[in-house]
Amino acid sequence: MYKLQSARPEDESFLYEVYASTRVEELALTGWLEHEVDKFLRMQYEIQQRQSR
């Protein structure tokens, strides 16, 4: 049986990577540079995390 736990600060890097991996195809269409995509994804991820809290 599994037990759910709240995310911990040390989980953030992994959680961001999972989130970013779901947006790869979509953002490939933008023509943005890698650092632009990363900046956008980090902003979007942070907004999503704040809304979830």
- For residue 1, name the pLDDT band (cuts at 50, 70, 90): confident
Tokens of 12: 């953030």
Radius of gyration of the chain (CA): 13
Per-residue pLDDT tens digits for 11-23: 999 999 999 999 9
Residue 52 has pLDDT above 90, yes or no: no
Q: How many residues does the chain have?
A: 53
Q: What sign for the dihedral angle of Cα 4, 21, 52, 9?
A: positive
